[in-house]
Amino acid sequence: MWLARLKNLALACGAFCLGAQAVLAAPLAASPNSHAASAEFRRPVAIAAEAKSDAGKTRLTFVLSAPVEARSFAIERPDRIIVDLPEVNFQLPAETGRRREGLVSSYRYGLFAPGRSRIVVELSQPALVSSVEAATRPADGAALLTIELTKTDREAFRRSAKPELPAVPDPVSTGSVASKGEDRRPLIVLDAGHGGIDPGAVASSGAFEKDIVFAFAQRLKARLEHTGRYRIAMTRDQDAFVALDERVRMARAAKADLFISIHADSISAAPHIRGSTVYTGAERATDVESERLAERENKADAVGGVEARETASEVADILQDLTMRETRGFSHRFTKRLLGALDPVMPLSKKPHREARFLVLRAPDVPSVLVELGYLSSRKDIDLLTSEAWRERSAAAMTSAIDRYFGARVAGHGAPTSP
């Protein structure tokens, strides 16, 4: 039975993954390349995973279509075991890894960087990897990867944990976006929050923020492209981890005219709170909640098992300071138009424009906003956020806000005019 399932998966993946793989090699690229198909068929598929414990040990076993090499290390605060793998296509049930089992409080998995996947195991108490075993299951030839964790004490864990998180892998080349000389249409970078091993907030329905905001970003991209007035790039074109400063770097390198980061927050203690909020970057947060939200969002790199890096914009420089001030003026103007357009299609939160120190909003020269579409802790918001009709309506509303913004900003320079 396993073998039959493995074959089906390999076949089912062919067409879809051709595009996905190409985008991974160049996130801002528009067209797939033909080398991707053969690589895809070599990518092992994970079809099952389970955790079992006894006598101070917990074993985490992944069932794969082909053997993989694994490398593990520990990180403290919070205590985690990171397992690095070559690229694996995880086809696991949605609830996989969410339940506590022995030494494992939860685990997640996903694409980490081009050609690399990662499993992040959150520990319920200090534990170390005592063995990593690869075996073949005789019944069906499936490859088993077993990571055995053994309980240890705080001191021993601390000694073996990496003192610092490893840096983000080298960014992918993004040379394919047409330069301004060739195409004068404004370039908008859409940034679907989280991705890969970082699921973002989790809805009460079990849905992940990373999937909800990705579906929305794709809808918005299609809508904007349909107007023919803009060039659109995505910071991620699939379910992959992208570090925060890499998202900013992509927008700056491509000389984007607007950067829109898309998220959906959750406050489990207050399921009645709902509505959209638009955030702009600032050194000082508008209020405590915004400050906390920015802290949570800024932790995305740590969730992926890498260290958050401050961007070059940290450097105090009077010229940069002036540029930043002017850019923030544009961000505020866009926010106003965006809230005006969203108002009829989505209830707005009590204070719909807020500011906080989001790492992803730190490009000094690209007007940037972060949109929290709604709250995944609100039943009513989830119903909207996961509805195709709402996605269509709100993508249309955002498109008209973008039209107005660019119409006002650069009218008379071959740019779009107000509808």
Interface contacts to Zn ion, rule CB under 5 A: 193, 200, 263
Question: Closer CB to Zn ion, residue 129 or residue 212?
Answer: 212
CB of 292 to Zn ion, least distance (A): 13
Least distance (Å) from Zn ion to the CB of residue 214? 12
Q: Which residue has the tokens 């039959």?
A: 4
Which of 183, 190, 255, 246 is closest to 219 using CA atoms?
190
Task: Return the CA Rg of the chain.
Answer: 22
Q: Which is nearer to Zn ion, 193 or 304 (CB)?
A: 193
Nearest-approach distance from CB 374 to Zn ion, in angstroms: 12
Q: Can you say how many angstroms the Cα of residue 149 is from the centroid of all Cα atoms in its chain?
A: 28
Cβ at position 385, least distance to Zn ion in Å: 13
**Which strands make up the sheet holding 231-234, listed edge to edge?**
231-234, 187-192, 258-265, 368-375, 276-281, 348-356
Q: Which is nearer to Zn ion, 43 or 263 (CB)?
A: 263
Tell me the three state secondary structure of residue 315: coil
End-to-end C-alpha distance for the chain, whole angstroms: 57
| Total residue count of the chain as it appears in this document | 419
**DSSP letter string over 323-355?**
HHHHHHHHHHHHHHHHHHHHTTTSPEEEEEEEE
Q: Which is nearer to Zn ion, 58 or 335 (CB)?
A: 335
Closer by beta carbon to Zn ion, 265 or else 403: 265
Which is nearer to Zn ion, 362 or 404 (by Cβ)? 362
- How crowded is residue 120: how many other Cβ atoms within 10 Å of its Cβ? 23
Which own/partner pairs from 49-53 qualify as long-range (CB within 8 Å, at least 24 positions apart)? 49/92, 49/96, 49/97, 49/109, 51/101, 51/102, 51/104, 51/107, 52/101, 52/102, 53/101, 53/102, 53/103
Phi and psi (nearest 5°) for 208?
-95, 145
- Give the nearer residue to Zn ion in terms of CB position, either 60 or 192: 192
Are the CB atoms for 361 and 281 separated by under 8 Å?
yes
CB of 299 to Zn ion, least distance (A): 10
Task: Output the CA angle 149-241-375, nearest 5 degrees.
Answer: 100
Are 358 and 191 a contacting pair, CB within 8 Å? Answer: no
In angstroms, rounded to a whole number, what is the distance separating the alpha carbons of residues 236 and 240?
Answer: 7
CB of 294 to Zn ion, least distance (A): 10
Smallest gap, in angstroms, from Cβ of residue 201 to Zn ion?
6
Q: Specify the residue, 25 or 308, whose C-beta has the smaller distance to Zn ion.
A: 308
Rounded Cα gap, residues 329 and 327, in angstroms:
5
Whichever of 64 and 373 has its CB closer to Zn ion, that residue is 373
Give the residue at shortest CB distance from Zn ion. 263
Nearer to Zn ion, 87 or 209 (CB): 209
The least distance separating Zn ion from the CB of residue 209, rounded to whole angstroms, comes to 5
> Which helix (H) or strand (E) is 226 found in, with range?
helix 209-227
CB of 301 to Zn ion, least distance (A): 13
Least distance to Zn ion from the beta carbon of 217, Å? 12
